[in-house]
Amino acid sequence: MSTFYFIAFLSVFFSILVITAKNPVHSILYLILTFFTFTIHYILMNAQFLAIVNFIVYMGAILVLFLYTLMLINLNKDSEPLKSNLVKVAAYIGGACFFITIVSALKAFNTSQLVILTNPNLGLVKNLGKILFNEYLLPFEVSSILLLSAMVGAVLLATKETKTA
């Protein structure tokens, strides 16, 4: 039980570092650590499929893509012009207000039941695969079309325009 609180502390700590780090490369590395703690959260809830997918897709693919782009456009130095202090304070106040709104809405519930895994097979690949390919077959196929169109769009956007066009 205390594992959860330790990992939750680490998630919050690293995600604060993500938005405060001056160097964008450090920011990305902290984001990788944050996602790693999220993977541990999934394992603690016995959602094994999501843990693996989070590990492979987020930490393996998406963050490497971020790192690649950052190195491609060669901005790994502290070149970011900072916002004025007024805007910074406004940003912190805005974020805090958002958090306070959610917390006070949560207080209105006034009850907090425990998260208990009744069915240990819930998050296993076998169980999720059965649901995914029976009930959610159409959304699955549509998401494959989404990925294909995203790939085509990314290639189209990132290629240099020729002068003859």
Partner 1 sequence: MESIPQYIQAIPLNHYILLCALIFSIGVTGVLLRRNAIVIFMSVELMLNSVNLLLTAFSVYRGDATGQVFVFFIMALAAAEVAIGLAIIVMIYRNTNSIDINVLNRLKW
Among 6, 71, 77, 95, binds partner 1 (CB under 8 A): 95
Q: Which of 71, 91, 137, 141 binds partner 1 (CB under 8 A)?
A: 91
Question: Total residues at the site for partner 1 (CB under 8 A)?
Answer: 89
Q: Distance of CA 15 to CAs 7, 23, 26, 43, 137, Å?
A: 12, 15, 12, 19, 35
Question: How many angstroms separate the CA atoms of 70 and 76, rounded?
Answer: 7
Alpha-carbon distance of 124 to 46, in angstroms, equals: 8
Distance, in Å, from the CA atom of 161 to the CA atom of 6, rounded to the nearest integer, reads 50
Residues 6+ apart with CB under 8 A from 133: 140
In the complex, minimum distance from the CB of residue 165 to partner 1, in angstroms, rounded to a whole number: 15
By C-beta, is 31 or 164 nearer to partner 1? 31
Contacts (CB under 8 A) with partner 1, residues 19-78: 19, 24, 27-28, 31, 34-35, 38, 41-50, 53-54, 57-58, 61-62, 65-66, 69-70, 72-73, 75
Distance, in Å, from the CA atom of 58 to the CA atom of 39, rounded to the nearest integer, reads 10
Residue closer to partner 1, measured from CB, 155 or 165: 155
Q: Is residue 108 part of the contact set for partner 1 (CB under 8 A)?
A: no
Q: What angle do CA 98, 100, 106 make, to 5 degrees?
A: 110
Shortest distance, CB of residue 58 to partner 1, whole angstroms?
Answer: 7
Binding positions for partner 1, 122-141, rule CB under 8 A: 122-123, 127-128, 131-132, 135-136, 139
